[in-house]
Structure formats: structure tokens, C-alpha cells
A = this chain, B = another copy of it.
Amino acid sequence: MTITNLQCRLAQRPAPGLPDPSIWSFTEETVADEAPDGQVTVEVLYCSLDPAMRTWLNAGRSYVPPVRVGDVMRATGIGRVLTSGAEGFSPGDIVSGLFGIQAYAVLPASQPRQLDAAGLPLPVHLGALGISGLTAYFGLLDIGKAKQGETVVVSAAAGSVGSVAAQIAKAIGCRVVGIAGGAEKCRLLVDELGLDAAVDYKADGLNDALKAACPTGIDVYFDNVGGAVLNAVLRNLATGARIVISGAVSQYNATDAGIGPTNYMNLLVARASMTGFVIFDYEDRYAEGRAQLAKWIEARKISPRTHLVKGIANFPAALNQLFAGENTGKFVLEVAEP
């Protein structure tokens, strides 16, 4: 039986702004019956969809090299071993790795990681137990140094990283205010995630709403969005505040220079810091992070949320939906049913 791979490739670099569908091309390739020696062929089941993907499409410097024109789009995924040419992997094994947006990935055996699903749905391992959850964990606790009793504000709090960061902050005893777009997401933050308050950044009076929700000022701000929200937070810092720069989803598609944090001099007034980090630097501590996150999930302190979109052909549209904020929780592409 011939197995055909379907691949989504970067055909050309996007212009600034939301990527046009024309930047993508789809190719088909025959998959070899057996994985080459030392390699593994993986049937991809799920791929993680991340705002950072937008930055990988540009030629410029970022924390990882850009995706090259002509290459399969880079993506983290979960899959099932189809054939193995290497010790340590057998057909049927569930694995995670950098598989790309394609139906089958053929990789050196050094690349995939055996995944213990631990009784949880597979997409959770791309979300609360994946890079999203680890980003929330190390960003909030290691960079932000959030402590019990402090006021923590999280932007994109209904999103993949933000929803975990906000729930971790609740788990350790912080007063937690989530920022999200629209009344429905704000309702979800309070009613379903159990946050102390929610602020709708699309409504008028962002600054006043933040001030009302954080009467003693903001001790830790976990920022996923940048732009006007970051600027409003800067006006409401408590003394000694820590701002964690985890992302800037409002700026990734900016067509001009973008909005800088004009109010940054409040860092001086508040004796505050603003620190960027890249989760890959924490690789040697992932196991620690995953173990703690799994405990919180088991104790129902963290409710993992997944937003599934099906089919490789829908990847280009799904990526743009991500920037429109149409997801709550982790946005995952289901490449094949498990």
C-alpha cells in the first residue's frame, strides 16, 4: 500500500500584516514503506498552533532561525510511530517532536521523544503539559517570581499560555486578574477559570478597569500581547513590580514599527523590571515543570482547555484565527484522528 504525505510549505515570505494564504503551498510525497536506518517515520496526529509561528515566517533575527522558503512549516506535534529503523521506537509508540505541518514526518531517532499520555487527552501534552504550560510555569514563577498574596495580571488570559499562567497564579494563592477580548471570554475567566476579576481590553476605559481590579497595584504582569495593554499596565504598577515579556501577539502582524511601551518610565517610578525570556533556555528543567503542572491538573487546580481545528488544509486559516483571538485555551491542529 502506498502512503502519501501531505505537507504545508512556506512558498514565500509574507508581507507585514496577517499572512496571505498565497504564502503557503501544499505538496504530496510518497512515504517509504520502511523508515531509513537510524530514522523513524511518524504519523502526525496533532500539531501545536502558536502565535510565535508568525515570527518564524520573517527573514529577520528571532530566538530561532526563520523557516526557510520551500521548507515544510515548522510545528511541534504528537504522533504515532508508523515504522522504525532505530532502537527504542516501535510501531504504535506515541511520540512528540518537531514534526512540522505534514501528515507524516521522517526524522532521525534522536529527535522524537516517547510520550507517556498519563491518561490525559493527547492535545493536553501540547498545551498545559507542553511548551505553553512550561512557558507559563517558568515565566510566572522563575522570571516573574510571583508569590502568594500578590496581584498578578495576565493578558491573553483565555489563550494557551495565559490560561495556564492565570491558573498557576491562583494555585499559589495570588489575586489574579485576567485580560481578554470580549464579554464571553471575560465571563469564562471568572466563572470557569476562577479568576478574581477579568478586564475586557476591547471595552472602553482599560486603564480605569485595571485600576479598579488592582486597587493595590500590579505586582506581576505576565504579558502575551504587548501594545496598548502593556502600556495601560505600566500605569498601574505596584512598587517592585515584575513584568514578564512572554510574547506580543498584538504586534506580530504589525504593518508599521508597532506600538512601543511609551509609559516605560513608570518602571523607574515603580522600581520595576521588564524581562524577556525564551522557554527553550529551560530545557533542563522541563521535567520539573511538567511534574508540577501534572499535579495541578490532577488536583483540578488547572483545567486544560483545547481548541481543535481539523485538517492540514485548514492550517493557513487557523493560524490567522489565532491572531484574531478566536480560540480559548490551546489551539491545536488535528492532523489525523488518533
A→B interface (CB under 8 Å):
61-63, 226, 231, 245-248, 251, 257-278, 281
Task: Give the complex CA separation of A338 and B262 in angstroms.
Answer: 44
Contact indicator B260/A270 (Cβ below 8 Å) = no
Closest 5 CB pairs of A and B: A260-B260, A268-B276, A267-B276, A260-B262, A273-B275
CB distance from A153 to the nearest CB of B (A): 18
Extra contacts besides A270-B276, A272-B276 (9): CB < 8 Å: A61-B269, A63-B268, A267-B275, A269-B278, A271-B276, A271-B277, A271-B278, A273-B276, A274-B274
Task: Give the complex CA separation of A338 and B276 in angstroms.
Answer: 51
Number of copies: 2
Which residues of chain B have C-beta atoms less than 8 A from A247's C-beta? 268
Contact indicator A268/B277 (Cβ below 8 Å) = yes
**Nearest B residue (CB) for A265:** B248
Task: Give the complex CA separation of A272 and B277 in angstroms.
Answer: 7
Which residues of chain B have C-beta atoms less than 8 A from A226's C-beta? 264-265
Task: Give the complex CA separation of A63 and B271 in angstroms.
Answer: 9
Which residue from B62, B266, B274 sits with its C-beta under 8 Å from A269? B62
CB distance from A278 to the nearest CB of B (A): 6
Say yes or no: A273-B271 contact (C-beta < 8 A), given A260-B263, A261-B264: no
Contact indicator B265/A257 (Cβ below 8 Å) = no
**Nearest B residue (CB) for A257:** B262
CB distance from A257 to the nearest CB of B (A): 5
Pairs across A and B, CB under 8 Å, 15 listed: A226-B264, A245-B264, A245-B267, A258-B262, A260-B261, A261-B264, A264-B264, A264-B274, A265-B276, A268-B276, A268-B277, A269-B276, A271-B278, A272-B276, A273-B273
